[in-house]
Amino acid sequence: MIRSCIGSGMAVLLAAVVGAQQRPDFSGTWTIEAGRGSAAGGGAGGGRGAGNSMGGGLGMGPSPTELRIVQAARSLTIDHRGGRVAKVVYRLDGAEAKGQVTAPGNSTRPATFRSTWTGDRLVTSIITRGEQGGSVAMQEMRHLDDGFLVVEVSITGQPNARRTVYRRKT
């Protein structure tokens, strides 16, 4: 009986420790590491340039060259810097947030964001308007890999994907 209670207590404690897993802190200023990223899909372009793996063929233009991130217990605020400046506030409790995503032609589009933790990765589902109307579902996944911030973006139902790697500046 006592062993059973001790065993049950240990199981509850283990579950609590696993559930309270340490989440990474993405806070800081991050600059792009162009040579470490990758892009897939989108087909071959007609240009002659070598490219820099920053576009990705997602119809979103290049990745931001700098991210300024402030992380709090319930939110993650990201200032995207580079070709376009955009600020997005992600709710870390799975609740819906409204904001803007970058779009072709140096513009932005309204979007709805919903973020959840999957282990040590922040996964964000994004719904926005497509170029031809209708809605487009995207997914962003953020995680740390050996001190680098990795941001992976994909569009539901499309072979396109983009993996952008950032180095912490401050």
Tell me, letter by letter, the H, E, C secondary structure of the chain. CHHHHHHHHHHHHHHHHHHCCCCCCCCEEEEECHHHCEEECCCCCCCCCCCCCCCCCCCCCCCCCEEEEEECCCEEEEEEECCCCEEEEEECCCCEEEEEEEECCCEEEEEEEEEEEECCEEEEEEEEECCCCCEEEEEEEEEEECCEEEEEEEECCCCCEEEEEEEECC
In a domain, 109, yes or no: yes
In a domain, 9, yes or no: no
In a domain, 12, yes or no: no
Residue 83: the pLDDT is 62
**CATH number reported for the structural domain that contains residue 80 in this entry:** 2.40.128.20
In a domain, 131, yes or no: yes
| pLDDT reading at 5 higher than 70 | no
pLDDT tens readout for residues 37-94: 886 654 444 444 444 444 445 566 678 889 999 999 999 999 987 766 678 899 999 9
In a domain, 18, yes or no: no
Residue 10: the pLDDT is 46
Residue with the bigger pLDDT between 36 and 31: it is 31
In a domain, 1, yes or no: no
Q: Which domain holds residue 121?
A: 24-168
Give the total number of structural domains in the chain: 1
Provide the whole-model pTM.
Answer: 0.75
pLDDT tens readout for residues 87-117: 889 999 999 999 888 776 667 789 999 999 9
Q: For residue 19, what pLDDT band results from cuts at 50, 70 and 90?
A: very low
Number of Cβ within a 10 Å radius of residue 20:
8
In a domain, 6, yes or no: no
In a domain, 54, yes or no: yes
